[in-house]
Amino acid sequence: MTDTRPTVRLRPKAEARAIRHGFPWVYADELVTDRRTRALAPGTLAVLEDAERRPLGLVTVNPNSRIIARVLDRDAEACIDAEWLAARLATALALRDRLYDAPFYRLVHAEADGLPGVVIDRFGDAAVIQPNAAWAEAHLDALVAALADVTGVGTVVKNGTGRARGLEGLAEETVLLRGGLDGPVPVPMNGATYMADLMGGQKTGLFYDQRPNHAFVQRLAQGARVLDVFSHVGGFALAALAGGARHALAVDSSAPALALAEAGAAAMGAADRFASRQGDAFDTLAALADEAENFDLVICDPPAFAPSKQALDTGLRAYERVARLAAGLVAPGGYLCLCSCSHAADLARFRAACARGIGKAGRRGQIIHTGFAGPDHPVLPHLAESSYLKALVFRLAP
């Protein structure tokens, strides 16, 4: 097989040992990029060699990307066909079947599940696939066929949007590839019901990663007044209602997302305990303070303020500001949950930013929970980017 494939080679100073030990990426400045390599079509399969021309494995190459090569298989002669794809999907499915009673979860978490750049979320009989790397786009038909084969899903949506596709030079589009949809899909999670818009919602329509953090916060919600900021389709608010919250207010800038949150609350029979408020999160937090509002439990789960190292300082200032504004709305002895999905902001930096913000609000507190993404978002130990979600729960002093 290898003699029919192009070969790409690491530069002499590149760290071949990291690849041998499981690191899945080769950056553009680590690869010999001669005219032949630059001419390879994005998504081309190639044999990766070290500087001494010893094979390291099979990679997919995209000369247009900063991540110029992604390791697909340690075996340089592996055949990337329907059988190979089905085997990777079956391995991913076996883990989720062990973890969850119902087929609502992240089925494939990219590199951590051996499918670089591929995200697949499952919603019962439907699945949403994000082919965020050029090789996945090139093999999409085979990947979708294997997905249907292995899982039995009848509906498959391609969500081709987001920053990752732009970095790969891929066009944005959302397409129904198989089956049909009658509208938002109800998703049961932690006793709540969420409505996921698989065609028009953010990312795949729902964020499964917060499931364990929803469950922890739910334990604090009994009889509480709850504020959920950056709520999307009601993530923490609906979990709190399922946990017996007296009332939950969801804040988001997206009217369609809040409409789905309202539909979820109605499906749970909790519409009378739920309210929503559309607007900019920072402006709304300030307005609630002007209105002298306070809550027993406040959660802020913003988008990635620090999506890259270049944005880290600005992002940390934004997290500090969120913490300061939110802490002022927490009743004495109440709880504050602050989240970050920025992989560039590690736990220590994020925790420090939150502590500064709480202190600047004139409050002090103790951390009672540090949470991460659920086990359907496994972490590849060699790849820090696969561990991105942090959730800190503080109990603020009376």
Residues, the chain: 398
Q: Closest Cα partner for 208 from 313, 289, 120, 337? A: 120
Distance CA 89, CA 112 (A): 12
Question: Active site includes 341?
Answer: yes
Upper half-sphere CA count for residue 33 (Cβ side, 13 Å) = 16
Helix (H) or strand (E) holding 192: strand 192-196
Please tell me whether residue 371 adopts helix, strand or coil conformation: strand
- Beta partners for residue 277, in sequence order: 251
Cα distances (Å, whole numbers) of residue 40 to 8, 33, 49, 89, 324: 10, 10, 16, 27, 50
Distance CA 166, CA 148 (A): 27
106 Cβ contact partners less than 8 Å away, ≥ 6 residues apart: 96, 119, 120, 121, 122, 208, 209, 374, 376, 377
Distance CA 330, CA 328 (A): 6
Tokens of 85: 């794809």
Please tell me whether residue 286 adopts helix, strand or coil conformation: helix
The catalytic position among 300, 337, 339, 341 is 341
Q: Is the CA virtual torsion 371, 376, 381, 383 positive or negative? A: negative
Residues with a catalytic annotation lie at: 341
